[in-house]
Structure formats: C-alpha cells, structure tokens
Amino acid sequence: MKNIILLIGFSISAQVLLAGGPWPQAKGDFYLKLSQWWVVFDQHYTDQGLLDPNITTGLHNTNFYAEYGLGSNLTAVVNAPIFSRNYSNNLVSNTTQDVLIAGEAINSVGDIDLAVKYSFATGKIPLSATLLFGLPTGKTNGGTQGNLQTGDGEFNQMISLDAGFGGGENVPWYVSASVGFNNRTNQFSDEIRGGLEAGLGLFNKRLWLNSRLQMVESLRNGATAETTTSTSIFANNSEYLSLGLEVNLNITDRMGVSASVAGALRGEIIAAAPSYSVGVFYTGK
C-alpha cells in the first residue's frame, strides 16, 4: 500500500491537488517532487464548447511538491510553482513580415496550494478528507494587455473527499475516486470537482502506470468573463473533462522520475491543448 500512497503523490498535477486518493503518508514520512509542467495552446474551447483559434500562448511551471506525514492520519501537502512563466507569441503579418503585436512574457511565482489530508476511515475502502487553500501568489495582469497570468488572483478553499481501494501482490493496482467543492473568491465562480484514477505497478513495482479522469464544473455564480482579461487556464467559469496518463519509474528505492500528459476531452473557456509534465521525486523518512 505504501507504493500506492507514493504513486498518488506523483499524480498531483501542477494545477490541482484533487486527485490525491484516500491514503495518507505515515507519520514522519515525506515525498518530494520537482517537476516541470507546461501547456502551449493556439486554440481554446469557447463558451459553446467549440474550438476557436488564438495567439499561441504558453504557461510553464517549475513545481515543488511535498507531502509530509504529520501523524498516522494527517498529511500536510504543499504544491508550489516556484517559477511560472506565461508568454504569448509575436503576431506577424504574412504580407509584410512586420510584427503587428509584439509577444510578451511574465515570470513569477505561481499560485501556491497548501492542504491537509485527514484519513478518517481505513480498511478495505479507506476514506479521507482534504482541505486545500489556494493562495493568490501569482501575477494576474501582466503584459500590456493585462492578459498574462501566473495565477488567478483569488483565494480559494476546497474541500474534497477521497475513497479508493487496491490489491495485487505481484502486480499491485489501485483505483480511487474523489469529489470536491471549490469555494472561490474575488467574483470567481465556485466549482464542483471530481476525479477517477487507476494505477498499475509493473516490474516488481519499479514502473507505475496510471490514468486519471478529472472534471471541473463551474456553478457560474461569479462574474462573467467580460470583466476580466484572463485567458489560458485562469479564466473564470472554465469547465473541462480531462484525461491524463502518467509513467513513474523508480530508479532507486527512494528516487524516481515521472512523465505525464493530459488533455481535455471537452471544455469551455479553457485552453485546448495537451499539458505535459516531467519530474524527479524523492521519498524518505
């Protein structure tokens, strides 16, 4: 089961801490991960769920992620984009080759997430609850158009419930499900979030494969988008259903590397391009 716990940690993307699974870290155990996550998109899902083009925009995050077992049932989690870069390309005339609109970029710390996970049921189907605080530590209005962002500019509080189970001795596996409510401030709409995850350990648990289905539904009880200039993944009233795949390879007993890709199966007001992540992780006591 410990391997399962570690793998759940790997699955945390740069943007959400939702798909965490119900398994806590043992007291004094920790898991660290340094990763690079990025998405580059030249089209987006409109409010009709259709695809429209846009200037090529990229968001690159260097993330530090950590879990620490405060007690046998309580785990502290931090997800910190310690370096976040948002940029847009130059818009160049095909006729004159002149730069019509110069590209821009901003660099800063991204929005930091702090969370605690409490495991309140063990057994065949363990359950846990997570309380997450999303701190608005990123930039919200960079560039001359004010549309470059490394954060959404709001302090959100999300509570989520996780359940899961696993098995297999030689070929371990697990599945987990989660549901959460994300209370957002600063006129952002609240969200219902959900996720399903499954993982499989191969080659004597040295290689883990997992897949993740994540859903975000906006309650549309905040301001509409015209009051903001945000694009990319920080726009208000964004919705999506995404599917992600991840590979984790344990190089040593304590250290490994991971790579993942995720993309939206449907979306509204959200980037329409796959996101990628590569990273290194370390576990210890």
Shortest spacing between CB 22 and other proteins, in angstroms? 29
Alpha carbons within 13 angstroms on the beta-carbon side of residue 218 total 22
Q: Would you tell me how many other CB atoms lie within 10 Å of the CB of residue 225? A: 15
Please say which residue, 128 or 147, places its beta carbon nearer to other proteins: 147
Please say which residue, 89 or 211, places its beta carbon nearer to other proteins: 89
Going by C-alpha positions, the residue among 81, 65, 83, 108 that lies closest to residue 280 is 65
Shortest spacing between CB 224 and other proteins, in angstroms? 4
Q: How far apart are CA 68 and CA 78, in angstroms?
A: 9
Shortest spacing between CB 46 and other proteins, in angstroms? 4
CA 285 to chain centre: 25
Please say which residue, 164 or 267, places its beta carbon nearer to other proteins: 267
Q: How far apart are CA 112 and CA 60, in angstroms?
A: 15
Shortest spacing between CB 142 and other proteins, in angstroms? 11
With beta carbons less than 8 A apart as the criterion, state whether 14 and 64 touch.
no
Please say which residue, 61 or 242, places its beta carbon nearer to other proteins: 61
Please say which residue, 34 or 209, places its beta carbon nearer to other proteins: 34
- Name residue 110's amino acid: G
DSSP 97-117: --EEE--EEEEE---EEEEEE
Residues making contact with other proteins (CB under 8 A): 34-36, 38, 42, 44, 46-48, 50-56, 58, 60, 62, 83, 85, 87-96, 98-101, 103-105, 145-147, 224-226, 228-231, 235, 237, 251-252, 255, 257, 268-269, 278-280, 282
Please say which residue, 132 or 148, places its beta carbon nearer to other proteins: 148
Q: What are phi and psi of 234, to 5 degrees?
A: -105, 5
Shortest spacing between CB 117 and other proteins, in angstroms? 25
Q: How far apart are CA 267 and CA 274, in angstroms?
A: 12
Shortest spacing between CB 67 and other proteins, in angstroms? 18
DSSP 8-state class, residue 226? G
